[in-house]
Amino acid sequence: MHRFQTTAVHAGRDDFGALCVHAPPLDLSTTYPIADLAVGSASFDALVGGGATAANPIYARLHNPTVARAEAAIAALEGTEACVAYASGMAAMTAVLLARAQHGKHVLVVRPLYGTSDHLLASGMCGLEAEFVQADEIAARRRADTALVVIETPANPTLQLVDIRAVAAAAGEVPVLVDSTFATPVLQRPAEFGAAYVLHSATKFLGGHGDVIAGVVCCDEAHAAPLRTVRAATGALLHPLAAYLLHRGLPTLKLRVEAAQANAQVLAQRLQQHPAVARVFYPGLAGAHGAQLVGRQMRGPGCLMAFELHGGHAAAAAVMAAVKVMTPAVSLGSVDTLIQHPAGLTHRMVDDAVKAATGITPGLLRLSVGIEDVEDLWDDLAQSLAVASASVE
């Protein structure tokens, strides 16, 4: 068993020697020749039934070698038996819900979480009844038909941390899904604390360069097989070019996360002292929600933060318009710093009362810190906050 950084560089490359290649091969085939019909039929049954491999890939919707290598690499980083990749993080979330719908129609969900995940669950469009609860209510609200518990930690956008081990214990035999996108396996490996499913919007840190949309679910093989069956039936496959880019980004994951985290710690502390800022949400600050889990569940406070401005929506809009180095855009986890307005963008579909109850106020901005020079980032924040303060006086 290698250490994390060595695994990040070498995982998913086991067949490179036999192929006599150094860079990951990119297989763009949509279909594969079938020399023996009996082998082809058996392969079809195996893959449609959720198998990870077969003698013949048959068709790219069922299996692709480039995708499989990226899956193997991410599973190694998360410490799970398997990883199943999808065309987006939301496709991955949908696949888990559809797979668990065979076991019951009730899902327990802890807010806050990504706005589209919240909308998908609240809408019931996957045929499931989502009940939104506090983490300490899970054991009491669990029912005979509860099929899944869903949490996101750190939570989007207010960075609240949830104790995964405590949630898994409260869930009992019900599997727990943890959206660990903000943490990455560099800082947190939820399977070690009892999570059955570890979900990532791989568009974010795992890809890391703003040029790939992808989602993954890491889990044991028993949970992975139904996910592959759902993927085959719904066509939510990850394109091999996206898988190639995803795999290529993994060797620098730890380096990127640690550099961005160091920047985030500086910015959070300075923002906390700025007169235009009412509150900073960051797990690395004293008194942050769940801060006691940093060092126990998370190996660091991460690269994301949110901060609330005294001037409300007008001030938030002014900051987004004034930044010069940072990019005003949704998404996160790229090498460059992104700033966005959750209430007006990523969480716009969430009910206004829910936004208010979970701290998603009109003056809240979410910052995904990149790897630029921290002093340039602070200069940009300081000048944009000055512009915002002047505009709302």
Instruction: Compute the distance between CA of residue 273 and CA of residue 231 in angstroms, rounded to an integer.
Output: 48
Instruction: Give the pLDDT of residue 156.
Output: 97
The percentage of the chain sitting over the pLDDT mark of 70, rounded to a whole number, equals: 100
Determine which helix (DSSP H) or strand (DSSP E) holds 36, and give its type and residue range.
Answer: none
**Average pLDDT of the segment spanning 58-86:** 98
119 & 216 share domain: yes
* Catalytic site includes residue 270: no
Does the structure show a pLDDT above 80 at 134? yes
CB 200 within 8 A of CB 216: yes
153 & 292 share domain: no
* Catalytic site includes residue 118: no
User: Which of residues 237, 252, 267 is at a domain's end?
Assistant: 252
270 & 179 share domain: no
Does the structure show a pLDDT above 90 at 392? no
Instruction: Compute the distance between CA of residue 114 and CA of residue 139 in angstroms, rounded to an integer.
Output: 23
What 3-state DSSP class applies to 179? strand
- Could you list the residue range(s) of the whole structural domain that residue 129 is in? 4-252
CATH of the domain at 152: 3.40.640.10
244 & 288 share domain: no
Q: How many CB atoms lie within 10 A of CB 134?
A: 10
CATH of the domain at 287: 3.90.1150.10
76 & 149 share domain: yes
Spot the catalytic one: 69, 204, 254, 355. 204
Spot the catalytic one: 86, 114, 197, 244. 114
Spot the catalytic one: 32, 61, 254, 282. 61
104 & 114 share domain: yes
1 confidence band (pLDDT: 50, 70, 90)? confident
Instruction: Compute the distance between CA of residue 3 and CA of residue 185 in angstroms, rounded to an integer.
Output: 12
Instruction: Give the pLDDT of residue 230.
Output: 98
Does the structure show a pLDDT above 90 at 32? yes
Number of domains observed in the structure of the chain = 2
196 & 310 share domain: no
pLDDT digits (tens, 9 = 90+) for 365-381: 999 999 999 999 999 99
Whether the pTM exceeds 0.95: the reply is yes
159 & 117 share domain: yes
User: Which of residues 222, 252, 282 is at a domain's end?
Assistant: 252
Task: Spell out the residues 6+ positions from residue 6 whose beta carbon is closer than 8 angstroms to its own.
Answer: none
191 & 258 share domain: no
User: Which of residues 252, 283, 299 is at a domain's end?
Assistant: 252
Does the structure show a pLDDT above 90 at 244? yes
23 & 135 share domain: yes
Does the structure show a pLDDT above 80 at 393? no
pLDDT digits (tens, 9 = 90+) for 300-355: 999 999 999 999 999 999 999 999 999 999 999 999 999 999 999 999 999 999 99
Q: What share of the chain is helix, strand, coil (3-state, %, to 5)?
A: 40, 15, 40
* Catalytic site includes residue 197: no
225 & 295 share domain: no
**Average pLDDT of the segment spanning 126-143:** 98
Spot the catalytic one: 100, 118, 163, 179. 179
Helices (H), 22-136: 37-48, 65-78, 89-100, 115-123
Does the structure show a pLDDT above 90 at 391? no
Angle 115-123/89-100 helices, nearest 10 degrees? Answer: 30
* Catalytic site includes residue 105: no
245 & 257 share domain: no
Q: Burial, 114: exposed, middle or buried (Cβ in 10 Å; 0-12, 13-18, 19+)?
A: buried
